[in-house]
Amino acid sequence: MISKATIDTVFETARVEEVIGDFVHLKRAGSNFKGLSPFSDERSPSFMVSPAKGIWKDFSSGKGGNSVAFLMEHSHFTYPEAIRYLANKYNIEIEETEQTDEEKAITDVRESMYLVSEFAKDYFHKTLLKTEEGKAIGYSYFKERGFTAETIEKFSLGYSPEAWDAFTKEALGKGYKLEFLESTGLTIAREDRPFDRFKGRVMFPIQSMSGRILGFGGRILTNDKKAAKYLNSPESDIYHKSKVLYGIFQAKQSIAKLNNCYLVEGYTDVIQFNQAGIENVVSSSGTALTPDQIRLINRLTKNITVLFDGDAAGLRAAIRGIDLILEEGMNVKVCTFPDGEDPDSFAKKTPHDALIAYLDENAKDFIQFKASTLMDEAKNDPIKKADLIRDMVTSISKIPDRIQREVYIQECSRIMDISEQVLVSTLAQLSQKDVAEIEKKQKQDQGKKAFEVVKNEDQVEAQKVDILYRLERKIIEILLLYGNKTEEFEDTFMKTNDDGEIVMVTENRAFKVFQRIYLSLQEDEVELANPLFKDIFNDLINYYLQNDKFSLEQYLMHLQPEFAQEVTDILMEEERLVMHNWEGQNIFPKSKNDTIAQNVSETILTLRWYLVGRIIEELKGSISAEADNTEPMTMIQDYNGLTNAFSKKLGRVMSRF
C-alpha cells in the first residue's frame, strides 16, 4: 500500500494543467485552460481545466475531477497506478508496503495483462543488454541501425532469445500465470508445451499515451522466408492496433508544444527522428491509417505532416490517408524524400538543422502534393486529367469547414488551370445526394417539432425554475469555495436599553463561513431537501469540524465517488459560462462582486424566505369556508410579517416564487 504521506505529497505537487497537458492540447482561456474533449469526438472545445481549483470538467461527457480522476478516466489507471504515475512524473519517492498474495490475487484481468506486458518489456530489454546472445545479435543490430545507448534506453528496445520457450519459462518461474501470457499474445499455448511468439527477434515495446505497455512489435533478423519480417502482438483487451500510435508516449509533449505531428510508417523511422532531435513524430506501425489514430493526434494538435518514402507505393499510401485526415477537420501536409530514401535513412545521415530545413521546405499542402504527384500520370491525356480533377475535388469535399473548402477550390483552380465555377459545380454534384438527405431530415424534424408545438401549446405549462434546488446547490458551492474563511456577519436581535425599552440592535460578529451556515440552518431546524445535497452538506461540515485547515484538493482526494460528479459540476459552473461564451451572445452572467458575507447572508435569507413562503401557501390551502379560520389567518399574518422583514433586510422587494 502507498503511504498517506506519499499520497499527500503527490496531491500537493501535481499541477492539474501539467498532468492533463501531457494528453490534451490545452490553450489558455483567461485564468483557465480549454481543449478538445479526450472522451468524445468533437470539433469545438468543451474540456476545461481550472489550475486555481485543481480540477477539470468535460462538459461534453459530464466527467470531471482532479488529476488522479483524469488518469483513472483517461488511461484506465487504478487509484494506486495514478498515484505512482504522478510520483514518477514529479520525482517523488514512493513509500509503500509490499503487496500480499491476497492483494495480487484480486487484481483484475486487464491489470494482470498490463503487469505481464511490463515484465516482458523489462525481460527483453535486460536480455538485449546483459546476455551474450542479446548483445551479439540484438544489440549489434540496433548499433548497425545507428541507435545510441540513450536511444535504446529511451524506447526500451529489447531482444527475445532464439530458444523456443526462454521468455515463457522465465515468466512462469516468476509467478505470472499462463492465461495472461497467452491473452497478451506473448506466449502461444499448446497442449504439449507453450512457446514464445517472438523468439529470435529484436523487440519494440508499444506504449499507450500514458506510457503503459500495450503490446510489442518484433523484427526477425534471419533470412527465413517462411517467417514474417515484422510480427505484432495480437488484438487483446489492452491492445487495439487501430487505436494505437507507436511513439505517442515519447512524442505527446513535443506535439502539443510545437503544434504539429510528423506521421511516419515504421518503428525505426520514429526512433531515428527522435535521435536526430525531432520528437514530435509517431508511426501507424505499418498499417493503414485509421480514424481512431487520427483522433489520437487530434487531441494534441490540428496539424499533421505525413512523411513517406519517395517510391510509388509510399506516395499512394500517403494519398489514401489524406482524405481520412481531412474528414477529421485537420490540416495536413505531405513531405516525401528523395528516391531510395525513407525517413529512417534520411534522418540518419542528415544533421539536425539540415533535416529541419528540409522538412520545412518540402512539406507541401495536400493540394500541391496531390497535383504534383498525379499530374505526371495524366500528362496530356484529357480523360486522366478530368479524373484527377474529380479526385482532387473529392478530397476537398471531405473538409468540414466551408471557408477552408473555398480556399482549396481557389488553389486547385490555379494549379490545375481550370475555372472555379467548374470546380464548385463538381463539388456540388458530389455533395448533392448527401445535402439532399440532410435537408430532407431537417425538414422532417422541423415539421415534427412544429406539429408538437401546435399540439401541445395548450396542454403544457412552462417549466418552473426549481428555486429550492438552486438555493441548496448555492449553499454547497459557498461551503466548497469559502467554507473555512472568517467573515464579519451582521446580526440583528432584541435587547433592553438603559431606559428599560426593548429595541432592535445590530452587531457585527466574526464567524467561519461554514459555522455561520450550519448555525443558521440549525436555528431554523432546516435540513436540505435534496438527498444528494444533504449528504454532501453533512460530509463537508464533518470535514471542516475535523480539519483545522481546508484544502480543496485534499477534500477532493478523499471525496466519496458518489459525490464527485456533483461537486465538480458545482465548482466548474463559472467555467461553463465562459465555455459557452454567453457574453458573445449579449448575455451577461452575474459576476461575484458581492462580499462573501453578503453572498452567504443573501442565500440563507432567501432560503428562509422561500421556506416561509411555502408554509404560507400551505396555510392558505387549509382555509375552508365551513371552518374557523382564525388560527391559520393569524399565522399567515405573522409569517407575512416575517417575509417583510426578510425583504427589508435583503434591501429589495422580492416577488413570490
pLDDT in tens, 98-144: 656 655 554 578 888 999 999 999 999 999 999 999 999 999 999 99
pLDDT over threshold 70, residue 65: yes
Share of the chain above pLDDT 70, in %: 81
Q: What average pLDDT does this structure show over 17-30?
A: 89
More confident residue, 156 or 480: 156
CA distance 611 to 372: 75
* Parallel/antiparallel/unpaired status of strands 281-283 and 47-50: unpaired
Map grid coordinates 536480455 to a residue.
127
Query: How do strand 303-308 and strand 331-336 relate by DSSP bridges?
Result: parallel
Torsion angle (degrees, nearest 10) of CA 432, 438, 443, 449 = -170
pLDDT given for residue 231 in this prediction: 92
The answer to whether residues 371 and 397 touch, using CB atoms and an 8 Å cutoff, is no
Predicted pLDDT of residue 514: 86
What is residue 449's predicted lDDT score, i.e. its pLDDT?
45
Residue 240 and residue 211 in contact, taking contact as beta carbons nearer than 8 Å = no
Percent of the chain with pLDDT over 90: 26
Whether 305 shows a pLDDT value over 70: the answer reads yes
The candidate with the shortest Cα–Cα distance to 285, out of 188, 218, 225, 238, is: 218
Q: Higher model confidence: residue 646 or residue 51?
A: 51
Tell whether the torsion through CA atoms of 598, 603, 606 and 611 is positive or negative: negative
What is the C-alpha to C-alpha distance for residues 424 and 430, in angstroms, rounded to an integer? 10
223-232 long-range contacts, CB within 8 A, separation 24+: 230/286, 231/197, 231/198, 231/201, 232/206, 232/285
> Of 172, 204, 175, which Cα lies nearest the Cα of 189?
172
Q: What is the pLDDT of residue 121?
A: 97
Of 604, 520, 556, the C-alpha closest to 68 is: 556
Tell me the C-alpha distance between 179 and 141, whole Å: 32
Confidence of residue 285 (pLDDT cuts 50, 70, 90): confident
Q: Name which residue leads in pLDDT, 161 or 498.
A: 161
Mean pLDDT of 329-343: 87
pLDDT band at 653 (very low <50, low <70, confident <90, very high): very low
What confidence tier does 318 reach under pLDDT thresholds 50, 70, 90? Answer: low
Query: According to the model, what pLDDT value does residue 648 have?
Result: 65
pLDDT at 585: 42
Q: Does position 323 have pLDDT exceeding 90, yes or no?
A: no
Inform me whether the pLDDT recorded for 314 exceeds 60: no
Distance between CA 472 and CA 477 in Å, rounded? Answer: 9
Q: If pLDDT is split at 50, 70 and 90, which confidence band does 621 have? A: confident
Q: What is the pLDDT of residue 315?
A: 64
- Whether residue 417 is predicted with pLDDT greater than 60 in this model: the reply is yes
Domains contained in the chain, CATH given: 4-89 (3.90.580.10), 101-239 (3.90.980.10), 467-604 (no CATH)
The reported pLDDT for the residue numbered 345 is: 92
Range 249-259 average pLDDT: 87
Helix (H, G, I), strand (E, B) or coil at 73: helix
The C-alpha cell that represents 554 in the structure block: 485534499
Mean pLDDT estimate for the chain: 81
| Weakest-pLDDT range from 157-161, 350-354, 500-504 | 500-504
